[in-house]
Every structure is written in structure tokens, then in C-alpha cells.
Structure 1
Amino acid sequence: MAQKIYLSVFPLLFVLSCATNGTKPVVLSGHDRPYKVYGKWYSPIKHARSFREKGIASWYGREFHGKKTSSGETYNMYALTAAHRTLPMGTYVKVRNLRNKKVVVVRINDRGPFVPGRIIDLSYRAARMIGIVGPGTAAVEIEALGMLREARVTGKTKHSLMPGNYYVGEFAIQIGAFKSKENALKLREKLANTYEDAHIVVYNIGNDKFYRVRVAKCATLDQARQYKKILRANGYPDAIIVAR
């Protein structure tokens, strides 16, 4: 962890952090739950649309290497990850060192920092890439880039960043995932009689192959939420929204 503590913070370009000393904030359905640290409640935000922030970055390394992060992942000091108090887990963030102009892109998978004046805790590798390891802290600007989106293109899995506006894009509703192709085909056939664009997405995890059954092609997250609500009411309680 960085040794030097800064008590002042640069002006925020877009303030979304919600910390209070009193009543527990309302839980935002479908997103990270509020949590309490050192007597303060923090409410993770719904999305990172247009999120920018300036302040002090620090880093954490060997002392935490191999331990669990707030997301449940194991902390790897050599991975490009970071901790933020309120950004959604999985958000990719561009971090720019305001002194030397070096830039690194990291993925949020932990909560913190909780030292006054600091806005982000970088992994050792990320901090080294933008020259923070030596001094311990640095003034930075962070910008949310979006979430990772997975797609199947010509039989191969492709990854891209879903823009920070998570309310617009292409969404589908996943009903189930099967190891049995036959079971997936049966469900798709059943769904096709009632719902539009019933399809199967094949996903490989190691040596295992899964057949994900999905319906619909929604242009906005609000449309997808309505579709999911209908499906759950019609006997598909495990229906979830996914990015196409």
C-alpha cells in the first residue's frame, strides 16, 4: 500500500460516490449492495455512463497478493485491476497520470481505497506502468470505458468493451444453459412458438461446452427488463438479461 497520505482531493468532474454517516442507503436492485466501512455507507452506482474523476491514486501489492477481493476474485498483483469505492464491478477504467501523462486501462474488481483523498487503488502492475510504484501515490484522472461484452463471430469468441451508456445497445434474455445440446434445442423450439428470435449461443469453458438458450433482440435495457419481467411471469424464473 502507498505510504504517503494526501488529505486534499482534486475537483471531481462527475461526482457519483455516495457516502453517509447515517441511514443505510436504499438497495439498488440488480447491482452491488451498499456496504459500510469505518462507519460510512457506500452505495455502488448503477452504471458508469460519462463517469470521470480526478484525485489521488495509490496502489496495493504483495501484502494482498492471493487474497480475496470484494468481487470474490483472487487478487493478483500482476494483473491490470483496481479498487474503486462505487464503480460497478467489472467496469474498465482508463487511468492517466497527470504528471507524466502515462495511461493504463484496468478492470475494477475490488472496493477501496478508504484513505481520505484517494479515489482509486491500482494493482502493482498497473501502478508500475504509469510510474506510481516509487512515489506511492500520484494525481490521476480516471474515465470509465465500459463493460466487457462477449460475442460469437464465425465460431470464435470475441470480446469488446460495451460503451459506458449501458442503457442502449443490443440485449437478449437468457432462459437457461445446458451441457446437453438436445435439451437446449428442445427449449429453443418451445420458446420459438411464443417468443421472437429464439436462438442458441455456444460457449466453451475449458473442455466443457454449454448451450445457452436466449430469446429477443432488444435495443435498450428498459425493453430488455420488460421482456425479462414477462418471461419470469410466464414460468421462466431464471431469465436474465445479457448483452448480445
Structure 2
Amino acid sequence: MKLLNSVNISFFIGLVSIFFFTGCSSKNVDNDYNKFYKNTNNSKINNSPEMHRATMRPYSVFGIKYYPEIAKIGDRFEGIASWYGPDFHSKKTSNGEIYNMYDMTAAHKTLPMNTVVRVDNLENGKSTIVRINDRGPFVSGRIIDLSNKAAHAISMVGAGTAKVKVTVLGYNGEIENSKAPAVEVIDTPKEEKIEPFEAIEIKEDNIVVTTPVSTQIGAKVANNKSSNQKIVGNSKVAIQVGAFSKLEGANKVKKDYQNKYPSKIVEYVNQNGLYKVLIKGFSSEQDAVNFRSTNGLNNAVIIK
């Protein structure tokens, strides 16, 4: 009986310890970040409207076009993290700062500059919080490039990479700041060819999607009875392949994907002044994940 009680007591203490240290760990990570940026000279960051306008423009690297976009607080992304250090130390970052590999910063391909994110190492449970001040990593499958200091914080320097979860915590360099940068996402100029996440030929047509999703599904099936095309699913899962402040840019990218993936539904939706281009017609989230991987859309976002 005493042995049983001892086991129960030990089990209870173990559970309490897990919750206690998990909570403390989360709180300490937040405190470490705030102390680093608010109580030191690191709080002097470049947060000018001019910088945000410049860094929110679409850009191309290695033939792939990227569309910077404001994410919502709490949005989460999973993928591979890497880190960069000596080769870039003391050089300019994308937002004009001087890169310091001993600062708690990171590079991301599309998040606004000075977005604050929490990075959880899914391989060892360690966490850190960083501020986005650069663009990258431009390697397939990788979602964030950490500074040397941040990589040390989650014990991934030796391995070089780690599977992580990235959670958006705030804007403008502050965890509690929920006000996104007051800058629109700018499309490419009118005369420039609009390219989605991979370069495909622009083919003009007169299709404009204005109907709700359910109506569009029915219309797509009805219009394609004479072909071998089919809709593979009608779940609410979608892949977002672009976001534009102007309808023209969204419409061009929508047409590109309609031509390339005729068995899927491609449409744009207007959310908070942004036209977001979505690929739909998936039977499940895993179906969408497989489609994204198979078609090289690694930089696209899955929406549930």
C-alpha cells in the first residue's frame, strides 16, 4: 500500500513539475526577449514607413517570386529552420540594419519586417523568440533562418537545421503589439509580368470569379462535363498562392493557376482590402499538403 502511494505521489509531483516548468519556460522566453529589446540598445530598430513599403514589395530570388504578406497574431507555420552567421555578420539586412549574429533576429521570406515570432524546436522542446529583420532562407523546404544566438537558444547550431513551429506574436518589434504595419502589400507594376510562386506563362481570358465557393464548385463541374477534368474534393482547406492590393494582380495569377491546374478550383477572395488567390478542391488537409509538395509550391500557405 505504501509503495502504491509512493508511486501515485511521484506521478503527481511529476505532472505538477511538467506544467510548472512548461509555464515558466514560456514566460521566461517572453521575458528574455523583452529584456533584450526593451532594456538595451537593441530596442532602436528600423521601423519606418519607408522601410516597410520597400520590404513589402514582391521580389524574385532564383527565379521564384515571393509576395510579402501580413500574418495574423497566432498564425502558426511548421517547417525546417536553419541559421546563418559569420558569412553575413556585419553586413546589411533586407531592412537596412547591420546584421549581428549575436542578436535575437531571423530571416523570413514573406513576414513583415519587425514581426515577432516564437520558434519552437519540435525535436527537443526548446523555444526562443526572435524579430524578423531579413529575407530568406531561399532553400526549398526551409521557413526561417535564425541568427547564431537564436539557434544556440534552441540547440540547433551543431545540426544546422531543425524541424520547428513558428508562431506570430506581435508586430513592430514588440510581443504585445497587435497593430500591423500601416502599409499596403504592393503588387508588381502594371507593365511587369505577374508571376506566382513559380514562373508560368500568362494566358489572358475573361474569367472573373465573383461567386461564392459552393456556387463556383457547381459551375466548375457543370462546365467541364465534356472533359476528363474533375474536382477531387470540396473541403474548406485551400492553398494560398498570392495576396494583392489590386484586383488586376490577383486576377492574372488566378488565371495562371486555372490553366495549370484545371482539376482544381482557383479563385480570389477579398479580405481586409487584400485579394488572396486560393487553390481549392482538396479532400483533406493532407491532400493539400501533398499537392503543395508535389507541385513545388513550398512557399504557399495552407488555409484551413
**Structure 2 length normalisation: TM-score?**
0.40
Whose helix proportion is higher, 1 or 2?
A: 2
Whose strand proportion is higher, 1 or 2?
A: 1
